[in-house]
Structure 1
Amino acid sequence: MLSDRSQLLFKNLMGLYLNDGKPVGSTTLAKLPDIGLSSATVRNVMADLEKMGLIHSPHTSAGRVPTDVGYRLFIDSMLTYQPLSQQNEATIRHELSTGLNQDALMANASKVLSGITGMTSLVLMPNKEQEVLKHIDFISLSANRVLVVLVFNDQDVQNRIIELEQPIGSDELQKTANFLNEQCVGKNLAEAKQFLMGRMDSIRSTTNDFMSSIVEATDHVLEEQLEQKMPFLVSGQTNLLNYQELASSDKLKALFNAFEQHSEMLSLLDKSMQAQGVQVFVGQECGSAIYQDCSIVTTPYQVEGEVLGVLGVVGPSRMDYQKVVPRVDMTAKILGSLLKK
């Protein structure tokens, strides 16, 4: 536990460092109007804070900067988060937009989050295999061109145009749609795909060529949906150039490579899916030395109590948590509400 004086100095040091990223000296702290202590007293308190592992001196600088332990104490014990204004909430909701299918909405959420935080955003996609098929329809575009419409989870609509070798009539399209809706609706994506694979030989032998072609084309659309392997979306990588501690070419290269090497980040995002509310990971809490001088803020997004994925941001450890955390939290809540619609 920190004394009131130590807590006051540490909180002010954190405020100065988060604002400009420069080591904070005892003289600078002593000059603050609400400190009321001599430079010598401030130096003694700073020395105590350093012994506690909350601050350290980078290189030969006379100033001090927070350690990962210091960040953790500050985030957990000293910050108060204010909810976003109704205007900011309305702006996020408007920018996300409701008139998009699920994949487009996810991509939009990633871009919006990076824009409103000034960080790199991450959005863990829902598990495609567990998407439930709600409806199948076919729309004739011309004699040989058909639009396949698949609706998943009531809000994810996927469209594909297929080319057939022979013309097909609207009656055949309707029969095929009725058959597939009877057999596949209510199954998740993996189950629907497995059913069609198991019944394909029987379908070919008991139906005409037109219906077989449409069923096979639908199977290919399901396969394409399953093969969307991108586990999470990343936006705003170049935002990291704005932070001196992350802007070296070697540091950026390592971070960008880490975003592409999904395993480490997926482990962290999977961990976040099991947690309640916003999580803040500082430095090596992120799971790798690559994230030294970084923090990752994450929170799950959900529909009707079911967690579908996680979104969050990667930025410098000296990010403005009081602004970033509520924006991440609100974006997740709005995303969940739009997915529900």
Structure 2
Amino acid sequence: MVSDRSLEVLRVIVQDYVASREPVGSKAIVERHSFGVSAATIRNDMAQLEDEELISAPHTSSGRIPTDKGYRLFVDRLADRKPLSEAQREAIRTFLGQSVDLDDVLMRTVRLLSQITNQVAIVQYPSFARAQVRHVELVSLTDRRVLTVLITDTGRVEQQVVEIEQPVDAERLERVKSKLNALLGGASVEASAGILKQARTEAAPEDQPLTARITQALAEGFAQYRHDKLVMAGAANLARTEEDFSGSIYPVLEALEQQVVLLRLFGEMDVDRGGVSASIGRENESFGLGETSVIASNYRSSAGELARLGVLGPTRMDYTNNLAAVRAVARYLSRLLGED
């Protein structure tokens, strides 16, 4: 059974080690923190923590560092759940508020999170299967090239240039566009495949070749709405913390490139009552990320779909700040998308 004072000793060991990357000894704890007891008493507390496998000695006669189990206890019971400062909140509102569309806001989100936390930031695109088509635009670039623009109520825009075998005049292009908007307007992405097939079937004979090429391009655009996709920023932060990894950081970088791995990890993390969760060290071994920690939270898209955002870095990270940052950015992102 770990005493309350021993838990406080664990707290300062985590905080001091995160700040300095140096093992923390009993003498340093007495000098830096007001426990009101001797170094010998602190050593007894540290021995208790070591018996519980919450701290360990990286070298003989050195100070102590937190274990994965120690970080877990710190996150679950000891980390201060303090909110971000008003200046930080204003910076989030200002930076994300300048976004022009969903792609832009998610890219800004990962850039902002990586800057606030100094970790790799990751945002999952929402699944837009329930999104509704707002408008389809067809723009003639040349007589044989057409730009398709697909816009949904989520604010997402998919564009594709289509090559046409036969020259297309403005009247035919307008006729096909009107037919597509009549069929697709207000329809869900889930229903798109059947509607595009209907558009090809109902097209006038002279419009069928053009309709076939346009609906093929739109089908590819709709497929993007149904696929899981991640946006990342801040991979360079891993290089700055390379000393926190026992070997090379390349396995971590390889795992980051495999989006399916991160999507599975996100999917298995349960968000707590505070709206945030952490997966620490050995908890991530099955994903090839056993020396990293991931902090994640949910956000809600304008279509009501839930998706995840978070940060990934070494287990020696500032959990208190990162938990607060991920939670705050997720909540603001939900509000921002809900206003669209």
Deviation of 1:107 (Å): 2.6
Corresponding residue for residue 65 of structure 1: 65
Range with bigger deviation, 209-218 or 39-48: 209-218
Corresponding residue for residue 187 of structure 2: 187
| Unaligned stretches of 5+ residues in structure 1 | none
Verify the 8 A CA contact 1:129 1:226 in the aligned structure 2.
Answer: no
Q: Specify the code of the residue in structure 2 equivalent to 1:113.
A: L
How far apart are the structure 2 equivalents of 1:259 and 1:60? 35
User: Structure 1 residue 172 and structure 2 residue 172: aligned?
Assistant: yes
Verify the 8 A CA contact 1:98 1:338 in the aligned structure 2.
Answer: no
Corresponding residue for residue 286 of structure 1: 284
String of CA shifts for 1:107-159, please: whole Å, max 9, x gaps: 33222221221101111122254433222122344544433221113411223
Corresponding residue for residue 213 of structure 1: 210
Q: Specify the code of the residue in structure 2 equivalent to 1:175.
A: R
String of CA shifts for 1:71-118, please: whole Å, max 9, x gaps: 122112122222223332232233335443323332332222212211
Verify the 8 A CA contact 1:107 1:233 in the aligned structure 2.
Answer: yes
Q: 1:154 to 1:117 in 2, by over 3 A?
A: same
How far apart are the structure 1 equivalents of 2:321 and 2:113? 12
Verify the 8 A CA contact 2:265 2:287 in the aligned structure 1.
Answer: no
Aligned residues: 337
Deviation of 1:54 (Å): 1.3
Q: Choose which of 202, 220, 223 in structure 2 pairs with 1:223.
A: 220
Range with bigger deviation, 270-279 or 21-30: 270-279
Q: Choose which of 283, 296, 299 in structure 1 pairs with 2:297.
A: 299
Verify the 8 A CA contact 1:173 1:211 in the aligned structure 2.
Answer: no
Deviation of 1:209 (Å): 3.0
Range with bigger deviation, 17-26 or 27-36: 27-36
Deviation of 1:166 (Å): 4.0
| Unaligned stretches of 5+ residues in structure 2 | none
How far apart are the structure 1 equivalents of 2:290 and 2:272? 23
Range with bigger deviation, 94-103 or 173-182: 94-103
How far apart are the structure 1 equivalents of 2:184 and 2:232? 33
Q: Choose which of 233, 237, 242 in structure 2 pairs with 1:239.
A: 237
How far apart are the structure 2 equivalents of 1:134 and 1:46? 62
> Secondary structure of the equivalent of 2:6?
helix
Corresponding residue for residue 107 of structure 2: 107
Corresponding residue for residue 21 of structure 2: 21
Q: 1:74 to 1:273 in 2, by over 3 A?
A: closer
Deviation of 1:27 (Å): 2.0
Mapping 1:112-131, distance limit 5 Å: 112-131=112-131
Q: 1:94 to 1:208 in 2, by over 3 A?
A: farther
Verify the 8 A CA contact 2:269 2:278 in the aligned structure 1.
Answer: no
How far apart are the structure 2 equivalents of 1:322 and 1:240? 19
Range with bigger deviation, 91-100 or 57-66: 91-100
Range with bigger deviation, 111-120 or 223-232: 223-232
Corresponding residue for residue 330 of structure 1: 328
Q: Specify the code of the residue in structure 2 equivalent to 1:26.
A: S
Q: Give the TM-score, by structure 1 length.
A: 0.87
> Secondary structure of the equivalent of 2:12?
helix
Corresponding residue for residue 46 of structure 2: 46
Range with bigger deviation, 229-238 or 75-84: 229-238
Q: 1:305 to 1:41 in 2, by over 3 A?
A: farther
Mapping 1:127-166, distance limit 5 Å: 127-166=127-166
Corresponding residue for residue 259 of structure 1: 256
Corresponding residue for residue 89 of structure 1: 89
Q: Give the TM-score, by structure 2 length.
A: 0.87
How far apart are the structure 2 equivalents of 1:114 and 1:7? 30
Q: Specify the code of the residue in structure 2 equivalent to 1:339.
A: L
- Superposed CA RMSD: 2.8
Q: 1:210 to 1:253 in 2, by over 3 A?
A: same
String of CA shifts for 1:60-79, please: whole Å, max 9, x gaps: 35211111221122112122
Identity of aligned residues (%): 30
> Secondary structure of the equivalent of 2:306?
strand
How far apart are the structure 1 equivalents of 2:61 and 2:207? 77
Deviation of 1:238 (Å): 1.6
> Secondary structure of the equivalent of 1:17?
helix
Verify the 8 A CA contact 2:96 2:108 in the aligned structure 1.
Answer: yes
Range with bigger deviation, 267-276 or 174-183: 267-276
Corresponding residue for residue 317 of structure 2: 319
String of CA shifts for 1:6-59, please: whole Å, max 9, x gaps: 233222222211111211112222323502222222211111111122111124
Deviation of 1:208 (Å): 4.0
Verify the 8 A CA contact 2:144 2:164 in the aligned structure 1.
Answer: yes
How far apart are the structure 2 equivalents of 1:193 and 1:99? 31
Q: Specify the code of the residue in structure 1 equivalent to 2:214.
A: A
Range with bigger deviation, 60-69 or 113-122: 60-69
> Secondary structure of the equivalent of 2:158?
strand
